[in-house]
Chains A and B, each alone.
Chain A
Amino acid sequence: DIVMTQSPDLLTVSLGERAIINCKSGQSVLYNSDNKNYLAWYQQKAGQPPRLLISWASIRESGVPDRFSGSGSGTDFTLTISSLQAEDVAVYYCQQYYSTPRTFGQGTKVEIK
């Protein structure tokens, strides 16, 4: 199984400041045949199901604000919120879909300072 490790577990950021969440996979999730990273980021607000923010490591879903961006390749990935808004308070998860089982990170809780 590919272990996904996120850091930090808790991130406290002031409104308007940048938030950076890291995700490290136990092995590469870059598929050489198509040069794609099989990595997604999800946002889960309290009492709601998760919402897909980013797929293929850096492709923002339709309707996702452009302050959210994903980067990285191979085993190291980052989700950046360029200017934190109050509505961004949530738990964020990375997930690899390179192999079975499709494992999630443990989650990073983002709060307002």
Chain B
Amino acid sequence: VRLLESGGGLVQPGGSLRLSCVASGFAFSDYAMHWVRQTPGKGLEWLSAIGDSGFATYYAGSVKGRFTISRDNSENTLFLQMNSLRADDTGLYYCVKAQASVPVAGDYWGQGSLVTVSS
């Protein structure tokens, strides 16, 4: 199993970024996926999840209405569209494979993509 995140970088407050996560080594369309971020001040923070088919989506209150999770099962790719970014969105963003078709525990994690929100 391999999860490779990309799309992070430096963005100004109020800006947007789109993270991608290319998955390999497993049947991507059979598993739910998560996004989790890590910041020095807050530890691990679960952000969002999506069911195997992409129809069911789940969000933390801190990102609901600003972030959108999606997936392309034909390309084995998970996305996180992040709008209206704030300084406290700065962190390392992990793509995580769930153990089942619904968002239960995450059994494989990517190396993370660093997002920095600063002027």
Contact = CB atoms under 8 A, between A and B. Distances in A.
A40 B54 CA distance: 24
For chain B, what secondary structure do more than half of its interface residues adopt (helix, strand, loop), or is it mixed? strand
A40 B44 CA distance: 13
Nearest to B110: A49
A101 B44 contact: no
A55 B103 CA distance: 13
Contacts of A38: 104
Instruction: Bin the interface of chain A by size.
Output: 20 to 34
Interface stretch (B6-14, B23-31, B57-65, B66-74): B57-65
For chain A, what secondary structure do more than half of its interface residues adopt (helix, strand, loop), or is it mixed? loop
B91 interface: no
A13 to B, nearest CB: 21
Interface of B: 34, 43-46, 49, 58-61, 94, 99, 103-112
